[in-house]
Amino acid sequence: MAIQLGQVAPDFEQDTTEGRIRFHEWLGGSWCVLFSHPKDYTPVCTTELGEAARLKPEFERRNVKVIGLSVDPVESHRGWEADIEETQGTAVNFPMIADADRKVSTLYGMVHPDADPLLTVRSVFVIDPDRKVRLTLTYPPSTGRNFAEVLRVIDSLQLTDRHKVATPVNWQPGDRAIIPPSIDDEAARTRFPQGWEEKKPYLRYVEIKAQEQQQS
């Protein structure tokens, strides 16, 4: 099953290191980063889980819950978490799904038979409070995920949802946004009384104050 942007993220019930959860219920009114790992005790994923744990305050500031997944059982996850804390200096502080029956992996299209029919690929899903999938990423086994980019995309999604703008290439929080062509000049004058810089009729840059960008 290929998960497409805008679709409601499939619900599931599964065991985790923090007990059994029903996914949609667990989400509550939060955003979510769901990311999968081929198996426990793998080196690249060990570094990723440590980084995700270190960044928990940044995720919480954005109203984001983090949850991991591997095809190994809970007992294996717990042993791996001890290694992660020892080697990365941060204890895992979010649930890890134990997907031994591949139920969640199948729902989310995380098993790619031509890569390995027994393991999940290294996927990332960003899901909004309406349970809709807003970002999907799939990484090769040899390349660690960039959590700074995941946070940047979440910042962009939250900004663009709130102000009905878009963000340009390499955008960072505090940078100018773009007024999308779907908003004509008349509507833009009401929505953006501060005005904008027009490069082309379809390319209009607008400043959004830092405090407004940070509003939840």
Catalytic residues: 45
Contact 99, 149 (CB under 8 A): no
Q: Provide DSSP, the chain.
A: ----TTSBPPP-EE-BTT--EEHHHHHTT-EEEEEEESSSS-HHHHHHHHHHHHTHHHHHHTTEEEEEEESS-HHHHHHHHHHHHHHHSS---S-EEE-TT-HHHHHTT---TTT-TTS--EEEEEE-TTSBEEEEEEE-TTS---HHHHHHHHHHHHHHHHHS-B--TT--TTS-EEE-TTS-HHHHHHH-TT--EEEETTEEEE---HHHHT--
